[in-house]
Amino acid sequence: MANAVLMPKAGITVESCIIGKWVKKVGDPVKMGDILFEYETDKAVFECESTAEGELLEIFFQDGDEVPCLVNVCAVGEKGEDCSALRPNGSAPAAAPAAVEEVPAAPAAAPVAAPAAAAPAGADAAVSPRARKLAESAGVDAACAAGTGPNGRIIERDVRRLMEQGVPAAAPAAAAPAAAEYEDVAFSGIRKVISKSMMASLQGSAQLTHHFSFDASVIRDYRAQMKAAGGDYAGVTLGDMVLFAVSRSLLNHPDMNAHMLDANTIRRFRAVHLGVAVDTPRGLLVPVIRNADTKSLVQISKEVKELAAQAASGSISPDKMSGATFTVSNLGSFDVEMFTPILNPPQTGIIGVCKMADRVRRTKDGSIDVYPAMGLSLTYDHRAVDGAPASRFMQEVCRKLEQFTALLAD
């Protein structure tokens, strides 16, 4: 009896996953635990192991498809078994591979010109998926082929003929500049999610950004002391100190440590679950330091590095990337002096950490003093927080950072 393999539920907060690529193909033998395909959430990449044994009879979803969790993705069983009853609603069986695409014969009354004499179809011509795939693997431009399919569509045999005969004489001059001018790259699954989330954030909230700076002399000097101390202390960064100060300030400003549930309701949290934006090879991810307001500076420093490493490797659990009540994004290492971070809905606030730079100021005795200033940019949802209370929150954060050793004493 044929068995279905389900799309795994990668964490309690995940509702759907995107198929990255199939490792097995229809007809392949499958053993229990064999990797069938890769799939990804907006957080990480995983491998789906087979929960059945036999032959891969049918694939219900293809590369790039978004599939709800716990929905049948493919069928495994004995060769020739009927698995139509396992197909999810609306899915169709995978197309069987064919040696050559079949094309309807041209009517006798309207003969088609011989392919060898046909002109290249051009960049706007329709290209069948199989023809495009063959052209990409062979490193040729499918648009240079003469389409002999229905309505001039370029099909597989046209690309094969192009590979055999070479690019038509009239095409190289036009094709070469076009190929050099641009490259079309499809978004990965996580890039699609980031794109969708950023647009939804800007369209669904009233965002405003305030820019601040503070005297970073104390945290700069304290960082030097921690580095000299060695061990776990040596790993503490200026960014970790900002996280610590933010975690100690948020509970005094409950509307900043909150979620907008709808247009008229805000949920205030009694603990700080701090999201930390991390740059990874797959894109921006935001792991969460839970109960950050109860953790020491060294604990926060160690945890953020562990989470960042898991996020970068793609092994992080989606559950470690949900539930943040506030987010911090640090671009200081990229020499960014100020920026406008985008809210991570439904959160009401996010801080952008900027670079440290020397500034001058006049002292009380009238002399000029050079000091290290660090910038902080707060974006907040104006539906939940007005400008004055948002600024008071940032004043407290800056004050704590300027008096960091006193903050540690508390």
CA pair distance 10, 189, nearest whole angstrom:
15
User: Does residue 250 sit in helix, strand or coil?
Assistant: helix
Q: How far from 11 is each of 222, 321, 393, CA to CA, in Å?
A: 39, 10, 34
CA pair distance 299, 295, nearest whole angstrom:
6
Q: How far from 223 is each of 138, 193, 359, CA to CA, in Å?
A: 54, 36, 20
Residue 330 dihedral angles phi and psi, to the nearest 5°:
-115, 115
- CB-CB contact of 139 with 159 (8 Å): no
Nearest by Cα to 242 from 305, 300, 196, 183: 300
Residue 379's CB is within 10 A of a number of other CB atoms, namely 26
Which residue numbers are catalytic?
A: 382, 386
- CB-CB contact of 39 with 19 (8 Å): yes
CA pair distance 9, 77, nearest whole angstrom:
23
- CB-CB contact of 56 with 96 (8 Å): no
> Cα 78 to the chain's mean position, in Å?
38
- CB-CB contact of 320 with 335 (8 Å): no
- CB-CB contact of 82 with 105 (8 Å): no
